[in-house]
Structure 1
Amino acid sequence: MEQIPGLTRRHGQRTERLRSTMASVGLALAGRAGARLARVFGVSISRSTVLRLVDALPEPQPPAPRVVGVDEYATRKGRQYGTVLIDIETRRPVDLLPDREASTLAAWLAQRPGIEVVCRDRAPFFAEGATAGAPQAIQVADRWHLWHNLSEAAERTVAQHRHCLRVLVPEAPEPGPAPAPAEEMSGSPWPTGHRFADRTRTTHANVHSLLEAGHSRRAIQRQLCMTYRTVKRYADATRPEDLFAGQWQNRTSVLDEYKSYLDDRWREGHTNAWKLWEEVVPLGYKGSYQTVRAYLCKKRTSPRPVTARPPSPRAVAGWILSRPEALAETEQLQLKTVWDHCPELDALARHVRSFATMLTERQGERLPDWLGAVRQDDLPSLHTLAAGIDRDLDAVTAGLTLPWNSGPVEGHVNRIKMLKRQMFGRAGFALLRKRVLLAP
């Protein structure tokens, strides 16, 4: 039978239009989901057939890009990575590589001598691959990654000077004299209404009333069902308070002479009972760990005055990294207070604002002066950032000067994550590559 071009093919079970439709469904949804959607259309097809239709599609042959973006994507996060290459001008994927080795990227770039610009992050394997495979191309470090690196360095610097943030906490008022306990005001260590005190006073009154009535101590013993020693103790006490004065409140403890040390360590933020017990044993403490634990447990559960806490280093770093006009008035005042009390954070803010101006206005020629100014201040985290920029100075200068960036690459990396999860991580590299490169 004669075949109609574009409509049927020899031994074909489907028209060309249906084949292309099912292949498009496979590109969008892969096997299982594509087969389920096909059944909604009234087409009976298996997931394996959908994948075979996708696999039969011709390999894409995109034109060689002039400006290419390079980034990594994870096939198994933390274990296996690949490389995605994007045409920055058309924002279309050009190719997927099965690994992120410098040699693989260099071989791919060497086959395309027309590449003029390579946009990348600051990963060393991409830098080495671009240098070896496209020595004629200008390498451009991505501006977002540069700002992200500066943000991390700024947060580490603020964390190193977290003690300077305490100036933002208002001073607590001096505590007034503690009110005298009820037992001291009444002259008794146990106040009225205390169960033990009331029982003792009642028993004392009964014993002395029977003595005044002429009963002997033996008779009182039998009448009140008490031991003779207990009756004698009540009879010899002129006041009920003499029976328990100092019995419990003034009791000494083996921990008494070490409580001041424990209090100091507690105020310093050391609250681990076992560690503090290990610290007081060399000082001569002979008691048990349970005694130390009980003492600290009482401090931990006792009500403490509510005091304001200084803002976190991340919050202050966020203020420094934000545009001044985007901050609330209270945040601006707090930031100015920190700068007045900490010259290092004041210098950090100046360097961050200078870098932000250089980045947004693309003034890459100012980068050497910025690096020199950073090295003059005592900011170790920024010194580490400056050393890393020095090792990649040409690419960073180009990133702060040229209009190219890796933004389109990051978008495709997110899309690859979606496709990979849609296939439950079980699809091979060939199918993933087809779905990325042939997507409409």
Structure 2
Amino acid sequence: MVDISKRQIIDMINSRDYETVCKWLKTYPNLHVVSRDGSVTYNNAIADAHPGALQISDRFHLLKNLTSYGKEYLKKKLKPQILIQAVSQETSNEGTGTIKQADENRKLTLKEKYERIEQLLAAGKCKTAICQSINMDIRAYDRLMSMTPEERESSFQTKMMTVHEEKVKQKMERVNEVRELKKIGCSNHEISRRTGLNRSTIRRYLDENFNPVHASYGKKKNGKLTPYIKEIDECLEKGIMGSEIEKKIRGMGYDGSSSTVRQYITDWKRCRKLYYDRSREGGRKTETIERKNIFKLLYHPIENVKSISREQFERICNEYPCFEKIHSIIWEFKGLLTGKNVDALDKWMEKAKKLGIPEIDSFICGLERDLDAVRNAIKYEYSNGLVEGSINKLKVIKRVMYGRCSFETLRTKTLRLEKMRLLN
């Protein structure tokens, strides 16, 4: 129990039973206004202990309950990811081009990126434009451009290049050893005995045109899936299922593993997530919206939800009428509470009943059971805000004292802390 005017915790009770609460409330004969949640037990206990007291239902709990019922209904109607028509054909095509360009930029080595930077600088591009063009972080750009030529050349070396250079160096040491032995007059047989190398290898090392770099170095090997990539991409664009795609390419001669096909399809969809529609009809461009982001619209105005634009919001309402109904009814109720329009409550309840949504009907039943307190919540400014803040403080104290005190000790400590706070 919190005194609204003094903002002070007055008392605590360790029970929610009607008889205990009613008896406890009678020990405070001067109660005239009580703000509470929608508990039927509290309603009855307050009414019997103080028949003349004004009961006010807490607006936060009213909104929370209505929104929770709305989310419960929408979870049955909406998938975790829903598809809507793309806001504009131009946007979709532009986005697809951006994705392809980003894929190409990821394949560039650091040296190739530096060469692209020099070309763009020569063309008069600014730093920001260059970074956007090659998908490079500005900090990485600054670090690269501040290096000396020697440091930059060293940074271009990948781990594979470093390992390869070390192997080439080791091989050349062996080659020079063989050639030095040949210079002092050793035969190939003698060189083979001293070095342990095969005589055919010695003949190659003695050849002036010998190249220590492996013939396959720098060449990317094609995998088993490579010849079928184009066919897979075309099938995915048409929305064909992965199992059907695998069946098709196996008929064309693919003999690799199924996991390789699945991994490629997964990566393809992830890169084109916003523009992939497994049920694409007539080439309709779509984009994916997360359900969790849609639920944010029940709590915040569209201007404050950065993940969804107003155009996307309108598409969602048009393509999913179930969401439009819930969104509309929740925001109308919020308008009732903030606008202090008590007379509009009955009309809102009638409109909500006509929706025929079981979850909303349950909320309406709760309102009708506590209608006077709900009307008072619209009419008056009182709320449970102070109580909720005090509960947070109480939970901290409980955790500090967990397992080391009884309820009476907790109550005594909390009330003494309140007295000390007021004295200070």
Once residues 310 and 158 of structure 1 are traced to their aligned partners in structure 2, the CA distance between those partners, rounded to angstroms, is: 17
Q: Which residue of structure 1 aligns with residue 404 of structure 2? A: 426
Per-residue deviation, residues 202-230 of structure 1 (Å, max 9, x unmatched): xxxxxxxxxxxxxxxxxxxxxxxxxxxxx
Q: 1:167 aligns with which of 84, 98, 114?
A: 84
Per-residue deviation, residues 271-326 of structure 1 (Å, max 9, x unmatched): xxxxxxxxxxxxxxxxxxxxxxx997566445333133732333112124312443
* Cα distance change on mapping 1:296 and 1:106 into 2, 3 Å: farther
Write the mapping of 1:180-219 to structure 2, written as runs, cut at 5 A.
none
Once residues 291 and 307 of structure 2 are traced to their aligned partners in structure 1, the CA distance between those partners, rounded to angstroms, is: 19
The one-letter code sitting in structure 1 at the alignment partner of 2:349 is L
1:118 aligns with 2:34: yes
Q: Which residue of structure 1 aligns with residue 5 of structure 2? A: 89
* Secondary structure at the counterpart of residue 311 of structure 1: strand
Q: Which residue of structure 2 aligns with residue 148 of structure 1? A: 64
Deviation, 1:332, is 1.5
* Cα distance change on mapping 1:298 and 1:414 into 2, 3 Å: same
Bigger CA drift: 301-310 or 417-426? Answer: 301-310
Higher RCO (C-alpha under 8 Å, 6+ residues apart): 2
* Secondary structure at the counterpart of residue 114 of structure 1: coil
Q: Percent sequence identity over matched residues?
A: 22
* Cα distance change on mapping 1:391 and 1:264 into 2, 3 Å: farther
* Secondary structure at the counterpart of residue 29 of structure 2: coil
Q: Which has the higher helix share?
A: 2
Q: Which residue of structure 2 aligns with residue 345 of structure 1? A: 323
Q: Which residue of structure 2 aligns with residue 413 of structure 1? A: 391
Instruction: Decide whether the 8 Å contact of 1:358 with 1:400 is kept in 2.
Output: yes
* Cα distance change on mapping 1:138 and 1:299 into 2, 3 Å: farther
Deviation, 1:121, is 0.9
Deviation, 1:358, is 0.9
- Superposed CA RMSD in Å reads 3.3
Instruction: Decide whether the 8 Å contact of 1:119 with 1:141 is kept in 2.
Output: yes
Instruction: Decide whether the 8 Å contact of 1:106 with 1:130 is kept in 2.
Output: yes
Write the mapping of 1:35-434 to structure 2, written as runs, cut at 5 A.
85-162=1-78, 165-168=82-85, 300-304=262-266, 305-306=268-269, 307-308=273-274, 310-328=288-306, 330-434=308-412
* Secondary structure at the counterpart of residue 438 of structure 1: helix
Once residues 420 and 351 of structure 1 are traced to their aligned partners in structure 2, the CA distance between those partners, rounded to angstroms, is: 39
* Secondary structure at the counterpart of residue 317 of structure 2: helix
Instruction: Decide whether the 8 Å contact of 1:165 with 1:310 is kept in 2.
Output: yes
* Cα distance change on mapping 1:404 and 1:266 into 2, 3 Å: farther
* Secondary structure at the counterpart of residue 136 of structure 1: coil
* Cα distance change on mapping 1:168 and 1:137 into 2, 3 Å: farther
* Secondary structure at the counterpart of residue 167 of structure 1: strand
Instruction: Decide whether the 8 Å contact of 1:149 with 1:385 is kept in 2.
Output: yes
Deviation, 1:346, is 2.0
The one-letter code sitting in structure 1 at the alignment partner of 2:265 is P
The TM-score normalised by the length of structure 1 is 0.49
Instruction: Decide whether the 8 Å contact of 2:293 with 2:307 is kept in 1.
Output: no
* Cα distance change on mapping 1:116 and 1:167 into 2, 3 Å: same
Higher Cα Rg: structure 1 or 2? 1
* Cα distance change on mapping 1:168 and 1:134 into 2, 3 Å: farther
Once residues 52 and 291 of structure 2 are traced to their aligned partners in structure 1, the CA distance between those partners, rounded to angstroms, is: 44
Deviation, 1:118, is 1.4
Once residues 104 and 296 of structure 1 are traced to their aligned partners in structure 2, the CA distance between those partners, rounded to angstroms, is: 66
* Cα distance change on mapping 1:329 and 1:112 into 2, 3 Å: closer
The one-letter code sitting in structure 2 at the alignment partner of 1:409 is V
| Unmatched tracts of structure 2, length 5 or more | 94-238, 244-255, 275-286
Deviation, 1:370, is 0.7
Once residues 299 and 361 of structure 2 are traced to their aligned partners in structure 1, the CA distance between those partners, rounded to angstroms, is: 18
Instruction: Decide whether the 8 Å contact of 1:158 with 1:316 is kept in 2.
Output: no
